[in-house]
Structure 1
């Protein structure tokens, strides 16, 4: 594969994909040639310009780690050269852009995948298996909360988080909604509300520390998601909290409750509380162990046709459609039906990755 975008998240992907037996990174590219050269030297790839990388003969897949606003253009450029594409979340900045990408891929006969792939780790997969076992009975409702001060506290170039295509919902919502769809099934309708606390943010780290950046999107989103299964989810995505002690995701059923680990991570403890009982830890029973970002591509490489995997464009498109529907509802105050649906990917049995035996991504077995 070739990687386009050598920014903040790329090192996590590179550690995983250069350590796994199933994948090989042969080329990297970035608008900043120095970033591409550094990534290439560190991980044994070759550096190219963004225009050049699509013509590298060995490449089958492009991993698109650009900002959401660039996902469509990079994807279409890759598809135009007959390459399959795996996009960092969200699939694209808008539903219309995602539709154009998927239509182009279908016409070209290539595949598309989409992050997040954290749902394939032992945390969310164990939660899914626990739910399927009937441990809490029929799911009735869920809560999902992500409340932080804002990424300008740690990210050296956080501008895109506050530009169109950014904000807490499009940035962090894919982790939570992908987990919720995996656990409770697709979303049929939504209500949304949103607010913006301030019109500028101050960068707190890196060479631009102290610089003020504008805020063009809402920084707090609250939504109710009606799943087709009948379960209801209350969703809070916010860059306006000093801190939060709220559980990331809880699912409540007719016979008990389940605490689900952080969907931004691959692992974590699942806990179950029966009616009248106490919280009990659940032993990991499903999912990929020792996982890191890029697992979705490893899962594709392990598929029979090397094209389809659980981190699918269908799931990514539905999650994007849900988020877009929430934002439209917040804008006009109306309940919105979600036009798309998806098939929940197959569960992952407890599976040890080859590199995990030597201590995790970054070390080859």
Structure 2
């Protein structure tokens, strides 16, 4: 008889909890913007950081808590943090598990990163959890799930998408309605407390990115194509749809300021649209696909590009004000107290002054 080989046992090590490691920040990169500090977070950054109460939380290799003032590392947790952004509420930080704990949702003490509770998931979760009114909403495979944020107890779940390839969209909440976009191209609106479906709407395209909610309108891009659409947030009725003059796709969340919508595209361009009609106003071209959600502050649009730069452009006309080069594709920035916090695939978290280059005149 042939020799039988023993079955390989899966690694089921328990949660390791906190792992403290403070890297020595290397010298700042030279750019046209002002870099306050940068810190290496152990591995590539794939998503936006989360900033609150003087701390920036970012997913690198594990989850990192960094002081916003000087970039010093407060704590790290090797078991938390995957590809999606973390989120925080009160004294708790929430994130999907890392490495062998990909099928885990973790709640950590914001002071020291130690686990408060964890919940096993059947599939991985790659998106940012959403916390509001004591409820934690997150996407896990085919389901939108809601648990008690304090203890992790399940409250409800809704199967809203099939297991298919595409971008996984994070939930969004506004005016008492919870929204989720599935990979088949349908926007769902739920009651956040009960999971009851309010409405659902099939949009143009498939695999939509996480939508933007603003002033009663839901804006969403086609994750596999060049369409941008606006829906009535209360009813799901179409307000407008625009096809960009492009063969690229819109894989990130738009930003809005005044009556202008800013949309990043895989065609290397950031587009500005009329938020009321969808008419194209202008675009600016970078040297790489834009896999970053833009952010607008004080008349400037900030966004990252796969060309390795963080870009700052005029919100009025797209004129480039400055850009800072990193060592890899730049992810979605966050602005807090006049400072931009942004991660790069080079493994660094950057803190950059969120102001126009003083050497250039403003338009």
| TM-score, L = length of structure 2 | 0.30
Q: Comparing both structures, which one devotes a greater share of its residues to helix? A: 1
| TM-score, L = length of structure 1 | 0.30
Q: Comparing both structures, which one devotes a greater share of its residues to strand? A: 2
